[in-house]
């Protein structure tokens, strides 16, 4: 099955409460064209979605379910290579791919529900 890097807009993923404030959660969507792997980071009422793929090498960022953030919760971190990414825009600020960027997964919150955009 092909691994996709985008999803259609308008998919409801569940309530915002699925993701505790200051944490991240993995989402896998099975679609006709293939399977999408992404994750969402929540900071208060703001959410930031990314395709679950390191900008340095095409591997998932986390080796452990939902473990996408540094221990202090300030950055996204690749557990394979140590690359550090800003949460708000996915830009790599440290590690082997400094300056590269994670692929955005457009998501938002509507009426308390996480949705794709």
CATH code for the domain in which residue 26 is found = 2.102.10.10
Please write the tens of the pLDDT for every residue from 76-116.
999 999 999 999 999 999 999 999 999 999 999 999 999 99
pTM listed for this prediction:
0.96
Angle at CA of residue 44, ends 29 and 15, nearest 5°: 40
Which phi and psi angles does 13 have, rounded to 5°?
A: -95, -20
Q: How many residues does the chain have?
A: 117
The residue range of the domain holding 109 is 3-116
Cα separation, 76 vs 85, in Å, equals 5
How many distinct structural domains can be found in the chain? 1
Closest CA to 75 of 58, 57, 98: 98
């Amino acid at each position: 099955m092909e691994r996709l890097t985008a999803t259609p807009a308008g998919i409801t993923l569940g309530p915002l409460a699925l993701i505790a404030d200051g944490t991240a959660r993995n989402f896998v969507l099975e679609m006709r064209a293939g399977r999408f792997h992404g994750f969402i980071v929540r900071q208060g009422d703001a959410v930031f979605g990314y395709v679950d793929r390191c900008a340095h090498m095409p591997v998932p960022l986390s080796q452990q379910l939902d473990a996408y953030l540094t221990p202090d919760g300030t950055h996204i971190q690749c557990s394979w290579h140590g690359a550090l990414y800003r949460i708000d825009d996915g830009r790599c600020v440290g590690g082997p791919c400094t300056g590269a960027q994670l692929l955005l997964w457009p998501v938002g919150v509507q009426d308390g529900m996480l949705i794709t955009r």
